[in-house]
A = this chain, B = another copy of it.
């Protein structure tokens, strides 16, 4: 019988309607299908998904807990260089795709799959991120993207066609009304897009936001915490109640819990997708927002000015674009991240913060690095250098300006 088969496919499976239908359809087309799920911190009933995948006919189901590598390999370099896309988006989905893709390719090679498949639409960023990652890891793998295949997308033109197909195949579908937007969730963030959000002037409804309390409903009482960094990485969080967290995943979960409580980390933007289309997205990145404020603040105290300026221009902007566009497994990503450690050697110290109704307020910071020297910066006393030296500095700095001014 397997002689008739077209080969083996590993499918990025979510347990939802779309990927269940894709699973069924792939089998119908003559493929053996292995379902793959990654636990990157999203809220999900993995056991139910496993049962559903097998019921759909999957020849295998693989669940991988990738939370630690997600945090340590993807999120941490992003934290170290304050990665941000178009000044606003903290890249939560972009960061998760490479670890998921790597997990899939590992199973694909082990299970001798010839194909990789996913349920991403043909207009978004995630199809690109998945597939470029697949190709970067396994350049000869073949991709099946049903939502870009006319025989699939013409057959399943709306949600009802999918529901009907699932029912015909005896696949139970939870009969809740679909939310009028779609989401992607992991321990770094949740995204909301499509549906009613496609009108950029529509304010998202209050009940859309899932990972954070509304600032208006957040506690009246602020809460403080201290984050300690070593080489630009958050190695210790001390909460107001004295609780101390040091494990990399726990640090993230703890910051998420604090930020959620205090309404920190919501954004609502129109962004530019890699394919050149503008798109409206809303995001909650609770812990990540706290970390970004703290890390940037500590860099003010501990990072050399010129390193910071070069890093902002060379690494931050470039890496953010590379991640957003899906080129994590690429020579340019390897090149750009190679310089991160050299930029973070001195980023050691702590930042004291206050959370209050959506605000992350810096209360103070300190470091033993010694790059901040009150004696030098003090306006109130001599110290560090002679005031007359500054006259020379300005004289020389103005040579070029005077020449230009005279020439005008």
Residue numbers of A with Cβ under 8 A of B are 82, 86-88, 121-124, 127-128, 131-132, 135-139, 143, 145, 147-150, 153, 182, 193-195, 198-203, 215-216, 222, 266-273, 275-280, 296-297, 300-301, 304-314, 317-318, 321, 327, 329-332, 334-336, 338-339, 341-343, 346, 352, 356-359, 361-366, 369-374, 376-380, 382, 384-407
**Chain B residues with Cβ under 8 A from A301's Cβ?**
200, 270, 278
How many copies of the polypeptide does the oligomer hold?
4
List 11 contacting pairs A-B, 8 Å CB cutoff, sorted by A.
Answer: A123-B387, A132-B398, A147-B387, A150-B387, A268-B363, A277-B400, A313-B317, A329-B401, A335-B343, A346-B407, A358-B359
**Chain B residues with Cβ under 8 A from A376's Cβ?**
123, 277-278, 399, 403
| Cβ–Cβ contact B314 & A314, under 8 A | yes
| Cβ–Cβ contact B275 & A393, under 8 A | yes
CA distance A175 to B83 in the complex (A): 50
| Cβ–Cβ contact A131 & B394, under 8 A | yes
Instruction: Tell me how far the C-beta of A366 lies from the nearest C-beta in chain B, rounded to whole angstroms.
Output: 4
When A306-B332, A321-B309 are in contact, do A371 and B404 touch as well, CB less than 8 Å?
A: yes
| Cβ–Cβ contact A390 & B300, under 8 A | no
CA distance A372 to B279 in the complex (A): 7
- List 17 additional A-B contacts (Cβ < 8 Å) besides A128-B394, A203-B352, A306-B330: A87-B296, A128-B397, A132-B401, A135-B401, A198-B374, A198-B377, A268-B361, A268-B363, A270-B300, A275-B399, A276-B305, A276-B403, A310-B336, A313-B313, A314-B314, A329-B401, A330-B401
